[in-house]
Structure 1
Amino acid sequence: MLDRAHRLTSALDYSRVSRQGRRRGTRHLVVHALAIEPDATSRVGCITSRAVGKATVRNRVKRRLREIAREVLAEHPCGLLIVLRAKPGAAGADHQTLRAEVHRAIDRLVGGSERA
């Protein structure tokens, strides 16, 4: 579980990031990122709809995304609000695939270096 300080908790925050932030789609995810004050703590939220699968499948995808979010927060501790939205195909993707897609999308959104 992510620390409460690093989680998006309100529907208003999710909506703000989705509407005002930049978006990058991948095969299994859509990543939204919004730059905020440079000294503000970065926060992450995950969305998995019923289209992803039954509850156990959705929960597995969310656990994977939260673990990946921990890595993202270590690299970008300040200045970002991020929403990770799983597409239906995310249920069949392994952890490494999701990890690579998230990091690649965020690097492109914030102008960081490209990963292999």
Structure 2
Amino acid sequence: MLPAQARLRRRPEFTAVVRSGRRAGRPTMVLHYLPERPAPAAGGPASSQAPPTGPRAGFVVGKAVGNSVVRHRVTRQLRAAVRAELHRFPPTADLVVRARPEAAAAGSAVLRRDLSAGMSRLLGDGSRSS
């Protein structure tokens, strides 16, 4: 499980990343990346909270991927893969991972490979850290 401060939760957060961010498509997923998250609107419910620190991630696994059991399995696999790679992003970054229907038949190793390749493409080749 990702810690609460590392998750995108609200629809406007997802929308901002998908509309304004960079995109990298892979066979099993599409990654949407926004290096600088927008400031929360003044007076909104989020303005009373401290701004999140550290990179955040959100997941979109629609019905095209499969039934509820399949969607939850894919979400768990993606969450584990992102948790291992989230350190590669700057602290102000947001990431949305949208699973494609092909993710249902892919194993964890394939999802991790596609995630890593997509992140390398979004961040540039020299961003790999050990």
Task: Tell me what 1:45 maps to.
Answer: 58
Whether the 8 Å contact between 1:108 and 1:114 is mirrored in structure 2 is no
Give me the TM-score of the superposition, normalised by structure 2: 0.81
- Per-residue deviation at 1:55? 0.2
Q: Which ranges of 4 or more aligned residues in structure 1 deviate by more than 3 Å? A: 112-115
The alpha-carbon deviation at position 114 of structure 1 amounts to 7.9
Give the counterpart letter for 2:106 in structure 1.
Answer: A
Which of these residues, 79, 97, 107, is aligned with residue 84 of structure 1? 97
Give distance in 1, aligned partners of 2:90 and 2:127: 18
Superposed displacement of residue 78, structure 1 = 1.4
Contact between 1:8 and 1:45, CA under 8 Å: does it hold in 2? yes
In structure 2, what is the Cα distance between the partners aligned to 1:91 and 1:114? 29
Go from structure 1 to structure 2 and tell me whether the alpha carbon gap of 1:35 and 1:107 turns closer, same or farther (over 3 Å shift): same
SS of the residue corresponding to residue 46 of structure 1 reads strand
Q: How many residues end up aligned between the 2 structures?
A: 114
Once the two structures are superposed, the pairs formed by residues 16-31 of structure 1 within 5 Å of their partners are 16-31=16-31
- Residue in 2 aligned with 1:96? 109
Residue in 1 that maps onto 2:10 = 10
When residues 113 and 104 of structure 1 are mapped into structure 2, their CA distance, relative to the original with a 3 A threshold, is: farther
Tell me the distance in 1 between the aligned counterparts of 2:61 and 2:92. 24
Contact 2:66 2:104 survives alignment (8 Å)? yes
Specify the code of the residue in structure 1 equivalent to 2:22. Answer: R
* 2:73 alignment partner AA: R
Instruction: Specify which structure has the higher proportion of strand.
Output: 1
Counterparts of 1:72 and 1:82 in 2: how far apart (Å)?
Answer: 11
Give 3-state SS (helix, strand or coil) of 1:113's partner.
helix
Q: Alignment RMSD, CA only?
A: 1.8
C-alpha distance in 2 between matches for 1:109 and 1:74: 14
